[in-house]
Each structure stands twice: as C-alpha cells, then as structure tokens.
Structure 1
Amino acid sequence: MEEAAELGNYLPLSFKSPKEQEYIEFLWDAFETNYTHSKYQFAFLAYHMLTMSFVYFNIWQIKQTEPRDFAMGLIGFGRDIEKSLLEATSPFVFSTVNERSILRFLKLIACDNGKIGTYVKLVDDRNDTAHPNGNIFFSTQAALDTKITEILRVVDEIQAHSKPVIEHCYREFLLQNHDPDERAYPDPADQIREILIHENYLSQKDIEICRGFDIETLATQPGHEHMRELHEVLRTKYGSDDASGAV
C-alpha cells in the first residue's frame, strides 16, 4: 500500500473543478478499500484508472504547452474526435478516445513504439481483468504489488519523457508572469498556485522539475529579478518535504 501511494506524487496538486478532485479521491478510496479487504482484482481496476488519469494529465500538458505538436498528433483520428480533442477544456475529455489510441500521443514526448507497446500491455491487463471471463488475475496481495511496481516504473518513465514539456511550460510562465503590476495576482505564491499549478495540472513530480530549472538561462531577459523571485518562492513553498500541504 505504501508503494502504491507513490502514484499520488505524479497526480495534480490542484484541479480546475471540485468534480475532478472528487473523482480522483473516489478512485483512491476505491483502491484502498478493495486493497484492505483483499479484493485485489477491483483494487487493480481503480489503480489503472488513476494511472490513465495521469496519462491524460500529461497529454493535457502537451496540448497546453505544445499546441502545434498536439494538433499534429491528431492525424489519423476522425474529424469529430479531432474537433473534440482540440476544443477540450478538461483532460478527462481524452477518456472518450480508446485508451490504446490515446497512448499514441506519448510519441510527442519521444516515447518510441516499443515503450508504447509496453504501456498498451497495461491496458490489455485491465481489459482482461474487467471482463467476466471467469478468471481472478490478482488473487493475492503479492500479485497486485508486483503489478503496482510495474505500473510505477511505467509512470516514472513517462514522467521522465515529459521533462522538456514541463521545463518549457515553466519557462513560459516565468517570462509571461514576472511583472507584479500586470499579472493576475501580485503575490508570487498566488500567481504560482493559480496560474502555474492550477491551470497546468502540475504534480509534485512536475514541481520538482520546475525547482531544478536553471534560472540563469533567463538572466538577460527584462524583469529577471521578478522571475528569480517567483522561482525562489516556488523552491521554498513547494519543496518535496512540504508537498502534502502545498495547495
């Protein structure tokens, strides 16, 4: 159970609506309840849904940060699906697309076909588990724990591939939000919380990437001193030790 909780560090610190947050909390509750009552097959289903939510949030970040690449990734989808995804206002809109197909977007962050094939296997495992085929694939805690270890390896791999997207997102945030007289929230902490984290569904793992950003690469930009202030507030307020109470 303790290892399984690590997935929470890859999920958003803040959501755009209470409904979205309630959904993620519901999935965690479903996982924990089934896990503690030895209903491991159903615990896996809830954990898989949390994992796919993580994938949706990552694809959303691509859509927000690299819209041209995202549009290119829609090649091959039907016109109605293409329109729906381009106009999406929530990451959960991606759930309307077959999970195997949505994983293709991970090519935009340099996940090759071999890796995506591994990720698709997790979808196949879910499909096998969810159908009434007379099999209990996860009848023991050990079996589920092994699968959770595999899932977390995949999640961490996808997160590593997402690093350039998060760095680009953060760089643009600093460039566009440094002026306290022009931005939405004069207080740096408010601006970080509402505009950076909230709008981009950033996770604690995403924040760790932002905290490691080399602020000196923006040293020649106008307003660099305010960018440095934002960066220092982020580093201080969202250190990994303080993640649970960050937002």
Structure 2
Amino acid sequence: MEEAFELANYLPLSFKTPKEQEYIEFLWDAFETNTSHSKYQFAFLAYHMLTMSFVYFNIWQIKQTKPGDFANAMIGFNKDLEKELIDATSPFTFWRVNESSVMRFLKLIGCDNSKIGSYAALVKERNDTAHTNGNIFFSTEAALEIKITEILRVVSEIQTHSKSVIEHCYRDFLLQNFDPDKREYPEASDQIREMLIHDNYLSQRDIDFCMAFDLATLKDYNGFGEIIELHKTLVDEYKSEDN
C-alpha cells in the first residue's frame, strides 16, 4: 500500500489557505484510517477525492496560465456557472462542475477524447462505489492496490500533459522575478516559496519540470545571470530523490 502515497508528490507543497491544507490532510487521514481497519471501500473513496483534488489543481494552473483558452473551454456552461469559475479564488470551486464534465478542461493540455473518457470512467466507478447498491467493490487490500495502481497511471499521464503549462508558468516567473530589487522578497528562496510554489499550487512533480527547464531559451534576455542564480536556488532547495 506504500505505492499509494506517491500521489502526495502530485499534490501542492503549499496551499493558499489553512482550510485547503486541512481538507487534504483530512482525506489522507481518512484513507489511512480506513485502510488500517480494512475498510477498503471507504479508503478508495478518500483516495478518489484526493485524486480529484489533483485534477482541480491542474485545471487551476491551466486557468491561471491560459485564461483565454480556459474561458473558451466553458462554452456550453450556463452563464452563472461560467462566471463563478472565471471569478473563482480556489481550485476547489471546480466541485461545482460535474466530475465527468470537468475532465474536458484537460483537453487544453492535449488529453484527447479517448483519454478523457478513461478518466471519466474512474468517476463512474466512484459513483458505483458510493451508492447504496448492496455491493462491496473493494473487500480486500489487493483489490484496492490494483485500483490505486490504475489511478496513479492516470495521474502520471495527466501530469505529463501538464508540462507545457508548468514550463510556461516557470518561464514567466524567471523573467518577472530575477531582480532582487524589484521583486516582493529580496531572498531568492523566499520569492520561490511564496510567488512560485505557493501562488501556483506547485507540487514536487511540477517543480521537477521547473528544474529541467531549458535556461538557454532565455539567454538573450537582460538579467540572464540573475535568472541562472534564481533557478539554481530552486534546484538546491527542492531537488528530490528522483532528480
């Protein structure tokens, strides 16, 4: 069951509000408690909610990085919901959209209809599990482990598709924050923590994309030396065991 905790690497390192962090911690606790008591069906429900949180954070990054594309993707939504999503201040606002429908925002990062259909199938399975239908779909740890492996495959696939969004976000950060005299925090580590990771709900896997960013694409910009130093600070402070 240790594999299940790989999902944490895809969830934000920092949250905008204590309530958001408390919610994620609550779901992890629910997953662990139900697993330890062999209540695997309820453990699956908690894990599914963590997975949907991952999806919401990814869609939020799309919204922030590609606002025009995001707005165009809402064609067909009613005007009240469209306004609510445009004005949203938290990724969890996406709960207002049907979970199967919210997956269509992933088209903006290159997920095709067949992939989105497979992601939506996980939602249907959650619905079947949550309904009072007399069935216990996950009665053994082995059954839950098989499902978690499938979920993590989907999560990894979505993360791969999000690379361009994260790179766009990081490029903008480097260009706008390299000068210590003009940014919010003189110390590079503080600027990275607050204005990159915290503001954008970056996960460790997102940061891995940032670390691999091709700095040579910025070599013609003024301040390239400071950009390199800012990037080096990120690498030094957030390098994971996988890097």
Aligned residues: 243
Mind listing any 5+ residue stretches in structure 1 that lack a counterpart?
Answer: none
Q: Secondary structure at the match of 2:180?
A: coil
- 1:27 paired with 2:27, answer yes
Report the RMSD for the aligned CA atoms in angstroms. Answer: 1.1
- 1:235 paired with 2:240, answer no
Which residue number corresponds to residue 100 of structure 2?
Answer: 100
Q: Secondary structure at the match of 1:137?
A: coil
Normalization by structure 1: what TM-score? 0.97
Which residue number corresponds to residue 223 of structure 1?
Answer: 223
Deviation sequence 1:42-91 (CA, Å, 0-9, x none): 00000000000000000000001111111111111110010000000000
Question: Residue type matched to 2:34 in 1?
Answer: N
Q: Secondary structure at the match of 1:74?
A: coil
Which residue number corresponds to residue 208 of structure 1?
Answer: 208
Which residue number corresponds to residue 121 of structure 1?
Answer: 121
Structure 1 stretches of 4+ moved >2 Å: none
Q: Distance in 1 between matches of 2:12 and 2:242?
A: 15
Q: Distance in 1 between matches of 2:43 and 2:167?
A: 34
Q: Distance in 1 between matches of 2:194 and 2:41?
A: 38
Q: Secondary structure at the match of 1:30?
A: helix
Q: Distance in 2 between matches of 1:149 and 1:105?
A: 24
Q: Secondary structure at the match of 2:76?
A: coil
- 1:149 paired with 2:144, answer no
% identical aligned pairs: 72
Q: Secondary structure at the match of 1:241?
A: coil
Question: Residue type matched to 1:44 in 2?
Answer: F
Which residue number corresponds to residue 170 of structure 2?
Answer: 170
Q: Distance in 1 between matches of 2:191 and 2:72?
A: 31
Normalization by structure 2: what TM-score? 0.99
- Quick check: 232-241 or 50-59, which moved more? 232-241
Question: Residue type matched to 2:230 in 1?
Answer: L
Question: Residue type matched to 1:123 in 2?
Answer: V
Mind listing any 5+ residue stretches in structure 2 that lack a counterpart?
Answer: none
Which residue number corresponds to residue 180 of structure 1?
Answer: 180
Q: Distance in 1 between matches of 2:229 and 2:68?
A: 31
Q: Secondary structure at the match of 1:226?
A: helix
Deviation at 1:96, TM superposition (A): 1.1
